[in-house]
Amino acid sequence: MELRLIRNGLTSALCYRDPNSALKFLEAAFGSDLVTLIGDAEGDLAYSEMKFGDSP
């Protein structure tokens, strides 16, 4: 018998010209929570991760 993990959620990747503004918008518009924020040596956003609802 094969066991399979079933997830109820959505994972997506998006690219923005102004990622810091996009993060603020997503938080205000949809109630997303910022999970990870990594900047580069110049202080620009290198990587971010947000969570919405029960998404993993």
* Domain range for 41: 19-51
13 has a pLDDT exceeding 90? no
> Per-residue pLDDT tens for 37-48?
999 999 899 999
**For residue 37, is it within any domain?**
yes
How many domains, in total, are found in the chain? 1
What is the model's pLDDT at position 24? Answer: 94
Beta carbons of 33 and 51 less than 8 angstroms apart: yes
39 located within any domain: yes
Q: Is residue 30 part of a domain?
A: yes
pTM of the model: 0.66
> What whole-number distance in Å separates Cα of residue 24 and Cα of residue 34?
9
C-alpha gyration radius of the chain: 14
Q: Is 4 domain-assigned? A: no
Distance CA 34, CA 23 (A): 8
